[in-house]
Amino acid sequence: MSPEPPAPPPPDAGPLLGIHHVTAIAGDPQRNVDFYAGVLGLRLVKRTINFDDPGTYHLYYGDAHGNPGTILTFFPWPGAQRGRKGTGQATVTAFAIPPASLDFWAARLRDHGVHVEGPSPRFDEQVLIFADHDGLALELVAREEVQGPGWESAVVPPEHTVRGVHSVTLSLEGYERTATLLTGGLGFRAAGEQGNRFRYATGDGAGTRVDLLCQPEAPRGHVAVGNVHHVAWRVRDDASQARWRQHIDGLGLNVSPVMDRQYFHSIYFREPGGVLFEIATDPPGFAVDEPAETLGSRLMLPPWVEPQRGLLERMLPPLRVPGEGD
Ligand code: ZN
Mean pLDDT of 189-218: 94
How many whole angstroms from 231 Cα to the centroid of ligand 1? 7
How many whole angstroms from 53 Cα to the centroid of ligand 1? 14
Mean pLDDT of 306-323: 94
Asked if pLDDT for residue 255 goes beyond 90, the answer is yes
Residue by residue, DSSP assigns 93-115 as: EEEEE-GGGHHHHHHHHHHTT--
- Strand arrangement of the beta sheet that strand 71-76 belongs to: 43-50, 53-62, 71-76, 19-26, 228-235, 276-281, 265-270, 259-260
How many whole angstroms from 233 Cα to the centroid of ligand 1? 9
Question: What pLDDT shows up at residue 148?
Answer: 78
How many whole angstroms from 280 Cα to the centroid of ligand 1? 7
How many whole angstroms from 279 Cα to the centroid of ligand 1? 8
Which of 72-81, 109-118, 204-213, 262-271 is the least confident region?
204-213
Protein residues within 5 Å, CB atom, of ion ligand 1? 23, 232, 278
Question: What pLDDT shows up at residue 2?
Answer: 57
| Domain spans, the chain | 11-315
Q: How far is the CA of 124 from the CAs of 70, 104, 130, 162, 204, in angstroms? A: 22, 20, 20, 19, 15
How many whole angstroms from 67 Cα to the centroid of ligand 1? 14
How many whole angstroms from 103 Cα to the centroid of ligand 1? 32
How many whole angstroms from 12 Cα to the centroid of ligand 1? 24
Residue by residue, DSSP assigns 211-257 as: EEEE-TTSPBPB-SBTSEEEEEEEESSHHHHHHHHHHHHHTT--PPP
Average pLDDT, rounded, for the chain: 95
Which of 63-67, 150-154, 272-276 is the least confident region?
150-154
How many whole angstroms from 3 Cα to the centroid of ligand 1? 30
Asked if pLDDT for residue 1 goes beyond 60, the answer is no
How many whole angstroms from 276 Cα to the centroid of ligand 1? 10
- In CATH terms, 11-315 corresponds, of 3.10.180.10, 1.10.3720.10, 3.40.50.300, 3.30.2010.10, to 3.10.180.10
How many whole angstroms from 173 Cα to the centroid of ligand 1? 24
How many whole angstroms from 26 Cα to the centroid of ligand 1? 15
Asked if pLDDT for residue 25 goes beyond 60, the answer is yes
Question: What pLDDT shows up at residue 152?
Answer: 87
Asked if pLDDT for residue 242 goes beyond 60, the answer is yes
pLDDT confidence bin for 323, thresholds 50/70/90? confident
The string of pLDDT tens digits covering residues 126-173 is 999 999 999 999 999 999 877 778 898 889 999 999 999 999 999 999
